[in-house]
Structure 1
Amino acid sequence: MSGKAVAQGQEGLPRGGHRHHRGSPRADEGSTAYDDILVAAAYEFSHKGFDRATMRGIATRAGCDPKLLHYYFGGKDDLFTKAVGRIVEGSRLLDTLLGGGQEAGRGSGPVTGVDFLKALLRFVETTPEGAVYLGLVRNAGGDPHVRDLMLGFIKGELDGEQLKRLGIDHLRERLMFAASQVLGLLIVRYVFKVEPLASMPADGVAMVVGPVVDRYLRADLSFDRLVA
Structure 2
Amino acid sequence: MPRTGRRPGNQDTREAILAAARQAFAERGYDKASIRQIATTAGVDPALVHHYFGAKDKLFLTAMEAPIDPGKAIDQVVSGGLAGIGERLVRMFLTVWDSPAGTSAAALVRSAVSHDWSARMLREFITTQILRRVIAKLDLDPTEAPLRASLVASQLMGLIMARYIIKLEPLATAPRETLVATVGPTIQRYLSGPLDQ
Question: For the superposition of Structure 1 and Structure 2, which TM-score range results when normalised by the shorter chain?
Answer: 0.5 to 0.7
Segments of 5+ residues of structure 1 without an aligned counterpart are: 1-22, 27-62, 100-107, 224-228
Asked if 1:212 corresponds to 2:186, the answer is yes
Matched, 1:131 2:103: yes
CA drift at 1:158: 6.3
> Normalising to structure 1: TM-score of the pair?
0.58
For residue 87 of structure 2, the aligned residue among 114, 123, 128 is 114
Q: Which has the higher contact order (CA 8 A, sep 6+)?
A: 2
TM, length-normalised to structure 2 = 0.67
Residue-by-residue CA offset, 1:90-144 (whole Å, 9 max, x unaligned): 6732113322xxxxxxxx4244211221121111112x32221121012111112
List 4+ stretches of structure 1 deviating above 2 A: 23-26, 63-68, 71-88, 90-93, 108-112, 152-163
1:191 matches 2:137: no
Give the aligned partner of residue 174 of structure 1: 148
Q: Is the 8 A contact 1:175 1:217 kept in 2?
A: yes
CA offset at residue 154 of structure 1? 2.5
3-state secondary structure, aligned to 2:178:
helix
Once the two structures are TM-superposed, the CA of residue 222 in structure 1 deviates from its matched residue by 3.0
**Rounded Cα–Cα distance in structure 2 between residues aligned with 1:214 and 1:177:** 11
Aligned AA (2:91): K
Q: Provide Cα deviations, 1:21-40, integer angstroms capped at 9, x if missing partner.
A: xx8369xxxxxxxxxxxxxx
Bigger fraction of residues in helix = 2
Does residue 87 (structure 1) correspond to residue 67 (structure 2)? The answer is: yes
**CA shift in 2, pair 1:187/1:178, >3 Å:** same
Identity %: 24
Instruction: Note the aligned Cα RMSD (angstroms).
Output: 3.0
1:160–1:122 Cα change, 3 Å: closer
Q: Is the 8 A contact 1:140 1:147 kept in 2?
A: yes
How many pairs align? 156
